[in-house]
Amino acid sequence: MPSWLERPTPTFHERWPLSAAIVTVFVVGYALTAAATTEGAVLMTPLDRAIPFVPASILVYSSVYGAALLPLFVARCPRLLRRTAWAYAIVLALAFATYLVFPVSGVPLRPTPAELPEGFLGWGLRTTYRIDAPNNLFPSLHLAAAALSAAVAWKARRRYGVLAFAGMCAIGISTWTVKQHYVADSVAALLCAAVGWAVALRGYRPDEVPDEARAYGPLGPLAYLGLMALFCVGAFGYYRLGQG
């Protein structure tokens, strides 16, 4: 385990640089791996065919874009935050390597343009399909990040973890019902998250850190929910401007 994980330095000096570094690696790595592959395997199963297309679930799926930020709002301990960054780095490396050696095509999974609804939901689905590359699927990196975030929330405070795991399950289901991911993508995502947990997060002992030094109070999760609500309002405002 890298020794820098256990340094007793204030979290204020590391929180945002670490976050910026992880986000940068995610965005750049995702774009580069998507550009490096064009065609891939089709992982369609009878279960994937049986799962219905539910346009309204795009409202849940959209929360994947902010799920990885949850630890910033619940974890106060600098050692836990460093371990979180290390876990994210491990998952990103696993995912990017898999995208390159085993590209998967999600094109057969997606609905046709005629099947998309009108209005805000249809706009959200079309935007998602345009932003999320149809070949960076296995594993679902968004679900892996949500799973790690839930694990960090559990380490910070149990009740935060319970709520975060419920949100992760909803996100996982939405990746199927918006027809963005195969079931196999979710299984691979949870396996990647399990590796990140085992290597970086499992060794963190919550009982060694006072509760108030380990997690933020209720204002932390509420601020996170506020940020997600602001994202939804901004997305709807952008959609409305485009209709004007």
- Has residue 205 been placed in a domain? yes
- Token look-up 């309204």 returns 56
- Has residue 34 been placed in a domain? no
> 119: phi > 0 → left, psi -120 to 50 → alpha, else beta; which?
left
- Has residue 167 been placed in a domain? yes
The per-residue pLDDT of the chain, averaged, comes to: 89
The whole domain housing 131 covers 45-243
pLDDT tens string 14-24: 777 878 888 88
- Has residue 120 been placed in a domain? yes
- Has residue 15 been placed in a domain? no
Cis peptide preceding 55, ω within 30 of 0: no
Contact indicator for 67, 205 with CB cutoff of 8 Å: no
pTM of the model: 0.89
pLDDT tens string 58-107: 999 998 888 888 999 999 998 899 999 999 999 999 999 999 999 999 88
- Has residue 77 been placed in a domain? yes
From residue 138, how far is each of 49, 129, 208 by CA, in Å?
A: 18, 16, 37
- Has residue 5 been placed in a domain? no
> Containing H/E element for 48?
helix 46-50
The total of structural domains in the chain comes to 1
- Has residue 18 been placed in a domain? no
From residue 86, how far is each of 31, 114, 143, 213 by CA, in Å?
A: 21, 43, 17, 20
